[in-house]
């Protein structure tokens, strides 16, 4: 299998945003958009799904808190009961600070690692840009030809309309 | 003769060798030449920022003479008014000819780097691509403030800046718009249409105003009856209500001051609402003044120098003396009201003339207010609330009250914002983005509040000092905790917003009650918090905590507390304490909030 890709580089954020929006409205399939920085509104223009990272954060935080509460109960009540100021064994307020810290630690660290995992970012990873160095100063929109109704001329016209500075067509082998 | 030739030859050789030597070792231009008699060559000089006794103002760096014109700068004599803007458009010439393409290239480069971020690509006033962030696209900070004021003034009063002249301005500015750019005229017109909000054209509908008036009357009658029938309940209640009102209004001033001091532009669009909240300040001050002047005996330290068998000495004796106490209270209230009036008046004045210098003035005023407020509010919460129980103290009490106050104020602000938007949808510049930001602020401050609350609670709980324990014993064993197992009650009932533990289980659930988990609760929070310190201190178990059906826990009764006299909790007070604002429209508002705030 091979797929045909259309690459367009833009010099301005507005052009990239507008071209992305228009491509989506025309029904072209957007493979990805490469930008030097996070462009506001781009996720809406590409109609990306909302990030699932908050769920990871929430769940891991919940697990951390639960684990820590259980652990404190276990140490102070079951395994080694210790009388602190005649408080009851199950003194929940005393557990709160540590529980909070462990919750934040687990939630924070796991979110970062989940992010790396999702992006497949590892130390020493080589950049996989379609055009080397494109995100130094430009924006790149990559469209994919999906079916026979796909009209390359229309795509080129659209790119021109949004002041694309470089348009490229590329056939990529996929396995 | 021969010796002469010899000498000349020798001198020639010396000359050539010395020149050759110079080539071999070229002189170092960075090296200083040798100086003979260096005494006067280098006089000691002043550093640019060091003090200087030679000049009248004592500084080394001197201001240019007034009226001095920098080199290469041509002064223009225009005022920041629309007429002068038009005149400038007529009279001024672009000093750069369009002919060499490098001028245009340079202009494009500069615009892309410095202007495009706010103005969008293309022309001044364009707003494409930015609009969907939820904010109208206008230039930043002070420019924006002045512009809004100008526009608001123009559209409200039909003042000098008519819409047509605005459009003319925009058309002039937007000569060559690029195809994907919204025209400048449309941008400014949208802005003008959106910026018409003011206090005058938002009116309370009669259906809301009438019940409110009835409630005021009912409240007045209840209060008067209570003064004679149950003074031991009425005075703490009035103190609580006044403190709550003060908190709401101070939150308004604080919010405005915070926005000024941080140079925030996003909140300009609805600044009228916190300003309106701040207008409550005198009402709260009056209520508080009534309590402090008419019934100072509310405070157990008044007229005595010993509370609970322990005489006051030293600082406490001086601090807790009635004249000093009243003078302090007057200073707090007066400084808050003065700052609020000054800030609001400057803001209104900007509506009239659109002068950006008002913003700078308000930034300075806000800085002053924040400093004064930080000190006075802490002391005020110590004085008015904490001294109700003079042997109980908590150094975090001021911050704790501030957190509750600002949290409640933010929630009220959001409710009012949504409500005003409903009342006059075409006239408020409120977008989803604004509500999102306010919601995030609310979330952050509820976390902050919980954090501070828990800091106070846990320290007191852990330290277990006898005179301090009354604070948490009531919370764990009073009616607040009766609904849940004692260990869970404080955490769930108070740390989580809107947890069922804090509701009165004797009261049947009403429809729409689940709506109030969010903001309604936070509005009520200061009212809800204060009784623990305030009414609890007054009556202890058997007072608020103890329901008439006797389900409260009477086993724990610290000796410091007095038994209350006759008079159970009144219905109005109970509804307040349950954290339920008894105004019917509030419930409706809370519904609006749920629908209005995405996520």
Q: What is the mean pLDDT of residues B16-25?
A: 83
Q: Do B461 and A93 touch (CB under 8 A)?
A: yes
Q: What is the mean pLDDT of residues A109-134?
A: 86
Q: Give the contacts of A91 (CB within 8 A, at least 6 positions apart).
A: A76, A84, B487
Whether residue B334 sits in one domain with residue B216: yes
Whether residue A103 sits in one domain with residue A59: yes
Q: Do A85 and B464 touch (CB under 8 A)?
A: yes
- On whether the CB atoms of residues A7 and A135 are closer than 8 A, the answer is no
Give pLDDT, residue B120: 62
- On whether the CB atoms of residues B287 and B242 are closer than 8 A, the answer is yes
Could you tell me if residue B397 is inside a domain? yes
Could you tell me if residue A109 is inside a domain? yes
Q: Do A14 and B129 touch (CB under 8 A)?
A: yes
Q: How many domains in chain B?
A: 2
Q: Do A94 and B458 touch (CB under 8 A)?
A: yes
Q: What separation, in Å, do the N-terminal and C-terminal C-alpha atoms of chain B show? A: 113
> Which residue range(s) make up the domain with A30?
2-49+131-173
Whether residue A136 sits in one domain with residue A102: no
The candidate with the shortest Cα–Cα distance to B173, out of B105, B101, B111, B266, is B111
**Between B568 and B23, residue with greater pLDDT:** B23
CA distance A130 to chain B (A): 26
Q: Is A154 on the interface with B (CB under 8 A)?
A: no
Could you tell me if residue A161 is inside a domain? yes
Q: Would you give the DSSP letter of residue B268?
A: G
Find the closest chain A residue to B458 by CA distance: A93
Provide, rounded to the nearest whole percent, the portion of chain B with pLDDT above 70: 60
**Between B278 and B484, residue with greater pLDDT:** B278
Whether residue A115 sits in one domain with residue A64: yes
Find the closest chain A residue to B454 by CA distance: A93
Give pLDDT, residue B377: 95
Considering B139, B163, B194, which residue would you say is the last residue of a domain? Answer: B194
CA distance A29 to chain B (A): 21
**Between B584 and A51, residue with greater pLDDT:** A51
Could you tell me if residue B20 is inside a domain? no
Considering B194, B229, B245, which residue would you say is the last residue of a domain? Answer: B194
The torsion angles phi and psi of B162, rounded to 5 degrees, stand at -80, 160
Considering A97, A119, A141, which residue would you say is the last residue of a domain? Answer: A119
Give pLDDT, residue B108: 77
The torsion angles phi and psi of B478, rounded to 5 degrees, stand at -75, -165
Q: Is B105 on the interface with A (CB under 8 A)?
A: no
User: How far apart (Å, rounded) are the C-alpha atoms in residues A161 and B2?
Assistant: 94
Whether residue B473 sits in one domain with residue B375: yes
CATH of the domain at A136: 3.30.70
CA distance A54 to chain B (A): 13
**Between B43 and B478, residue with greater pLDDT:** B43
pLDDT per residue as tens digits for the range B162-184: 444 444 444 444 433 333 333 33
Whether residue A36 sits in one domain with residue A71: no
Give pLDDT, residue B566: 34
Could you tell me if residue A155 is inside a domain? yes
Q: Do B132 and A44 touch (CB under 8 A)?
A: yes
Q: Tokens 């994907």 identify what position?
A: B180
Whether residue B503 sits in one domain with residue B590: yes
- Count how many Cα atoms sit within 13 Å of the Cα of residue B69 in the half-sphere of its side chain: 7
- Chain B interface mutation, best of A93, A95, A137, A158, highest count of B Cβ atoms under 10 Å: A93
Considering B137, B159, B194, which residue would you say is the last residue of a domain? Answer: B194
pLDDT band, very low/low/confident/very high, at A122 (cuts 50, 70, 90): confident
Per-residue HEC secondary structure of A30-86 comes to EEEEECCCCCCCHHHHCCCCCCCHHHHHHHHHHHHHHHHHHHHHHHHHHHCCCCCCC
Give pLDDT, residue B307: 67
CA distance B572 to chain A (A): 33
Give pLDDT, residue B69: 82
- The CA-atom distances, in angstroms, between B495 and each of A87, B223, B319, B451, B453 are 21, 32, 33, 9, 8
The torsion angles phi and psi of B439, rounded to 5 degrees, stand at -60, -40
Whether residue B231 sits in one domain with residue B123: no
Report whether pLDDT(B564) > 60.
Answer: no
User: How far apart (Å, rounded) are the C-alpha atoms in residues B314 and B326?
Assistant: 19
pLDDT per residue as tens digits for the range B242-272: 999 999 999 999 999 999 999 888 888 788 8
Q: Do A41 and B488 touch (CB under 8 A)?
A: no
A87-93 own/partner pairs: CB under 8 Å, 24+ apart: A87/B464, A88/B487, A90/B487, A91/B487, A92/B487, A92/B488, A92/B491, A93/B454, A93/B457, A93/B458, A93/B461, A93/B462, A93/B490, A93/B491
Q: How many domains in chain A?
A: 2
The neighbouring-strand residues paired with B310 are: B307
A105: tokens are: 């630690």
Q: Do A93 and B488 touch (CB under 8 A)?
A: no
**Between A4 and B187, residue with greater pLDDT:** A4
Q: Tokens 């979330």 identify what position?
A: B443
Q: Is B448 exposed, middle or buried (0-12, 13-18, 19+ CB in 10 A)?
A: middle
Give pLDDT, residue A119: 85
Whether residue A115 sits in one domain with residue A94: yes
Find the closest chain A residue to B113 by CA distance: A12
Could you tell me if residue A108 is inside a domain? yes
User: How far apart (Å, rounded) are the C-alpha atoms in residues B573 and B568?
Assistant: 10
The whole-chain average pLDDT of chain B stands at 70
3-state SS, residue A143:
strand
Q: Is B207 exposed, middle or buried (0-12, 13-18, 19+ CB in 10 A)?
A: exposed
Nearest to B128 among A14, A87, A90 (CB): A14
- Count how many Cα atoms sit within 13 Å of the Cα of residue B361 in the half-sphere of its side chain: 15
Nearest to A90 among B112, B487, B490 (CB): B487
Whether residue A106 sits in one domain with residue A76: yes
The whole-chain average pLDDT of chain A stands at 87
User: How far apart (Å, rounded) are the C-alpha atoms in residues B453 and B578?
Assistant: 19
Angle formed at CA B566 by CA B563 and CA B569, multiple of 5 degrees:
95
User: How far apart (Å, rounded) are the C-alpha atoms in residues B470 and A3?
Assistant: 74
Q: So what's the ipTM on this one?
A: 0.70
Considering A119, A139, A155, which residue would you say is the last residue of a domain? Answer: A119
Whether residue B213 sits in one domain with residue B178: no
| % helix, strand, coil for chain B, step of 5 | 65, 0, 35
Q: What is the mean pLDDT of residues B509-530?
A: 38
Whether residue A64 sits in one domain with residue A115: yes
From chain B residues 427-456, the ones with a CB under 8 A of any chain A CB are 454
Whether residue B376 sits in one domain with residue B343: yes
Q: What is the mean pLDDT of residues B12-21?
A: 89
Whether residue A168 sits in one domain with residue A142: yes
The candidate with the shortest Cα–Cα distance to B291, out of B243, B220, B225, B249, is B243
**Between B542 and B276, residue with greater pLDDT:** B276
Could you tell me if residue B136 is inside a domain? yes
Whether residue B224 sits in one domain with residue B184: no
Q: Is A22 on the interface with B (CB under 8 A)?
A: no
> Which residue range(s) make up the domain with B187?
103-194
Q: B-chain residues within 8 Å CB-CB of A161? A: 179-180
Find the closest chain B residue to A15 by CA distance: B180
Burial B474-507 (b: 16+ CB within 10 A, else e): bbbbbbbbbbbeeeebbbbbbbebbbebbbbeee
Whether residue B399 sits in one domain with residue B332: yes
Whether residue A115 sits in one domain with residue A61: yes
Could you tell me if residue A125 is inside a domain? no
Whether residue B190 sits in one domain with residue B270: no
Report whether pLDDT(B201) > 80.
Answer: no
Q: Give the contacts of B453 (CB within 8 A, at least 6 positions apart).
A: B400, B403, B494, B495, B529
Could you tell me if residue B176 is inside a domain? yes
Q: What is the mean pLDDT of residues B107-118?
A: 73
Task: Annotate B273-336 with DSSP letters as a single string.
Answer: HHHHHHTTHHHHHHHHHHHHHH-GGGSTTTT-SEETTEE--HHHHHHT-HHHHHHHHHHHHHHH
pTM above 0.80, yes or no: no
Torsion (CA) B48, B52, B54, B56 in degrees, nearest 10: 100
Q: Is B461 on the interface with A (CB under 8 A)?
A: yes
Nearest to A96 among B179, B458, B488 (CB): B458
Give pLDDT, residue A49: 86
Torsion (CA) B277, B279, B281, B287 in degrees, nearest 10: -100
- Give the ranges where B25-81 is alpha helix by DSSP (H): none
């Amino acid at each position: 299998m091979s797929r045909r890709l259309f690459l367009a580089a833009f010099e301005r954020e507005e052009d990239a945003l507008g071209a992305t929006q228009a491509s989506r409205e025309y029904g072209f399939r957007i493979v990805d958009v490469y930008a030097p920085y996070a462009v506001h509104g781009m996720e809406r223009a590409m109609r990306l799904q909302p990030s699932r990272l908050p769920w990871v954060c929430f769940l891991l935080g919940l697990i951390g808190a639960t684990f820590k509460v259980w652990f404190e109960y276990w140490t102070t009540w079951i395994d080694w009961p210790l009388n602190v100021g005649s408080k009851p064994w199950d003194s929940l307020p005393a557990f709160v600070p540590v529980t909070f810290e462990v919750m934040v630690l687990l939630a924070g660290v796991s979110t970062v690692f989940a992010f790396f995992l999702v992006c497949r970012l590892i130390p020493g990873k080589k950049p996989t840009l379609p055009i080397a160095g494109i995100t130094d100063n430009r924006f790149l929109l990559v469209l994919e030809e999906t079916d026979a109704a796909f009209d390359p001329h229309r795509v080129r016209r659209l790119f021109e309309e949004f002041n694309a500075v470089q348009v490229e067509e590329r056939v990529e082998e996929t396995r | 003769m021969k010796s002469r030739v010899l000498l000349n030859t020798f001198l020639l050789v010396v000359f050539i060798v010395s020149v050759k030597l110079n080539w071999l070792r070229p002189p170092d231009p960075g090296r200083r030449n040798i100086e003979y008699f260096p005494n006067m060559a280098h006089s000691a000089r002043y550093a640019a920022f060091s003090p200087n006794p030679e000049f009248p103002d004592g500084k080394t760096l001197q201001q240019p003479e007034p009226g001095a014109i920098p080199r290469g700068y041509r002064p223009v004599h225009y005022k920041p008014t629309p007429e002068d803007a038009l005149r400038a458009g007529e009279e001024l010439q672009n000093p750069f000819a369009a002919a060499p393409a490098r001028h245009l290239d340079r202009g494009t480069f500069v615009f892309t780097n410095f202007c495009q971020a706010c103005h969008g690509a293309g022309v001044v006033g364009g707003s494409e691509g930015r609009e969907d962030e939820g904010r109208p696209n206008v230039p930043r900070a002070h420019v924006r403030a002045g512009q809004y004021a100008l526009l608001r003034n123009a559209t409200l009063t039909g003042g000098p800046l008519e819409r047509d002249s605005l459009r003319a301005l925009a058309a002039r500015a937007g000569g060559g718009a690029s195809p994907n750019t919204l025209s400048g005229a449309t941008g400014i017109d949208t802005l003008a249409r959106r910026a018409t909000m003011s206090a005058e054209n938002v009116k309370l509908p009669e259906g809301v105003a009438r019940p409110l008036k009835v409630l005021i009357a009912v409240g007045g009658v209840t209060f008067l009856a209570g003064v004679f029938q149950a003074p031991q309940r009425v005075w703490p209640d009035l103190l609580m209500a006044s403190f709550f009102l003060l908190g709401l209004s101070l939150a308004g001033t604080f919010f405005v001051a915070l926005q000024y001091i941080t140079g925030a532009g996003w909140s300009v669009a609805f600044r009228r609402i916190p300003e309106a909240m701040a207008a409550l300040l005198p009402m709260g001050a009056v209520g508080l003044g009534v309590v402090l002047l008419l019934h100072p005996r509310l405070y157990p330290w008044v007229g005595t120098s010993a509370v609970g068998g322990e005489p006051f000495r030293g600082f406490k004796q001086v601090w807790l003396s009635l004249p000093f106490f009243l003078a302090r209270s007057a200073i707090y209230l007066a400084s808050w009201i003065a700052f609020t009036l000054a800030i609001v008046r400057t803001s209104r004045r900007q509506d009239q003339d659109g002068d950006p210098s008002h913003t700078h003035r308000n930034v300075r005023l806000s800085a002053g207010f924040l400093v004064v407020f930080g000190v006075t509010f802490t002391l005020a919460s110590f004085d008015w609330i904490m001294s109700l129980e003079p042997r109980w103290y908590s150094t975090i009490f001021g911050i704790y009250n501030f957190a509750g106050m600002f949290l409640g104020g933010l929630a009220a602000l959001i409710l009012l914002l949504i409500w005003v938007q409903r009342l006059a949808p075409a006239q408020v510049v409120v977008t989803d983005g604004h509500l999102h930001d306010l919601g995030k602020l609310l979330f952050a401050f509820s976390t902050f509040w919980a954090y501070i609350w828990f800091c106070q609670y846990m320290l007191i709980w852990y330290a277990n000092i006898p005179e301090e324990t009354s604070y948490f014993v009531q919370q764990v064993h009073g009616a607040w905790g009766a609904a849940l197992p004692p260990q869970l009650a404080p955490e769930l009932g108070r740390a989580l917003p809107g947890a069922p533990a804090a509701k009165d289980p004797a009261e049947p659930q009403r429809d729409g009650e689940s709506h109030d988990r969010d903001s309604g609760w936070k509005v009520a929070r200061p009212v809800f918090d204060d009784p623990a310190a305030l009414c609890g201190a007054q009556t202890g178990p058997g007072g608020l905590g103890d329901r008439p059906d006797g389900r409260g826990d009477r086993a724990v009764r610290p000796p410091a507390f007095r038994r209350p006299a006759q008079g159970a909790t009144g219905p109005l007070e109970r509804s307040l304490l349950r954290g339920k604002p008894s105004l019917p429209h509030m419930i409706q508002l809370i519904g609006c909030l749920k629908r209005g705030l995405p996520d």
